[in-house]
Amino acid sequence: MKVQLKPLSEQVIVLTGASSGHGLETARRAAAAGARVVLIARDGDALARIRDQIRAEGGTAVTFVADVGQEAEVEQAAAFAIESFGGFDTWVNNAGVGVYATALETPTADHRQVFETNYWGVVYGSLAALRHLKDKPGGGALINVGSVNSDMPSPVISSYTASKHAVKGFTDSLRLEMMAAGAPVSITLVKPGPVGTPFPQHGRNLTGHKAQLPPPLYAPGLVADAILDAAQHPRRTLTVGGLAKLQVIGAAVMPLLFDRVAQNMGVLLSDPTRPVPKKEGNLYAPDGRDGVVDGDQKGRPVSAFTAARTHPGLALGALAVVGAAVGFGVVRGRRG
């Protein structure tokens, strides 16, 4: 069977990590476009507020409180989505947590917990989604949110980076299996660069310094747009942010040079001039700070690279206009 992805207005979209950041922004934009959304997160109070806001604006939303690191809860969430709407068309694995600490200072329990959410949450969600989508007429989309850290190393957030490498390996392998089986499922890995979400404020911080993200940052809406593009058009991968893509290329093509530069990136993730107390964050439980899209650092709302990937027709049109302008200038120059 061939996958036939529907317009957002005809879709039911299940979204984990829907209580903050680009997960919340994706939920809002999907609902505004007419999709019926199933919002999954650990913070039930935040989910209820988001659901009520979406409904007040004319959208359709239901919520399910679940920890994606618990397989039984993810299975229950999938059953709830099917019970609520008769099925779903797109499943987005977006939930993520992090720890700011060097590898030597990261407790093993914390490292494991990062994987419970970031990796096992993706595994459990993917399997639950595929059991439904692979036999559904027209199929659907499975979208896993990785990171540019799926492709390159980083100090200070080593457990997060390792989990995103694992997400990439699992997602790419799963795609091959679905292709071999002829399943009508589009499987996309979305890889955002640094995004201006509350991730540094939510993360567990053991450094003793203010956690932050390295510039340049991108706005959460760009990630939401990439996710919703993949819900409607089969994509293999989508990297959010042109400069982030250049970093990935640099890490692959010139790894030794990249290492020399990136070894000093720690000061961009943990500001040594701004001491703060160590913080538990939301690694093991919600920290009461959900319900917001933007973090302390604001991201740029435009990425020409991402726009070209998600709107290739517009990109080609822009190139044609630029080409025509250049050609016209050359002709005028010759005539002059």
Query: Strand, helix or coil at 38?
Result: strand
Catalytic residue among 100, 119, 124, 160: 160
Residue type, 215: P
Adjacency order of strands within the sheet including 60-65: 60-65, 36-41, 12-16, 90-93, 140-145, 185-192, 237-240
Residue 85 vs residues 97, 213, 306: alpha-carbon distances, Å: 29, 38, 32
Angle between helices 121-133 and 158-181 (to 10 degrees): 20
Q: What angle do CA 138, 143, 144 make, to 5 degrees?
A: 150
What is the CA angle 189-38-286, rounded to 5? 80
Q: Distance between CA atoms of 70 and 28, rounded to whole angstroms?
A: 26
The secondary element (H helix, E strand) that includes residue 247 is: helix 242-253
- Partner residues linked to 185 by β-bridges: 140
Strands (E) in the chain, as ranges, are 12-16, 36-41, 60-65, 90-93, 99-100, 140-145, 185-192, 204-205, 209-211, 237-240, 270-275
DSSP letters of 167-199? HHHHHHHHHHHHHHHT--EEEEEEEE-SB-SSH
Judge contact between 193 and 239, C-beta under 8 A: yes
* Separation between Cα atoms, residue 223 and residue 314, nearest integer Å: 18
> Alpha helix locations (H) across 186-241?
199-202, 220-232
160 has catalytic annotation: yes
Between the alpha carbon of residue 71 and those of residues 62, 116, 188, the distances in Å are 20, 10, 22
Do you know the residue count of the chain?
336
Tell me the catalytic residues: 160
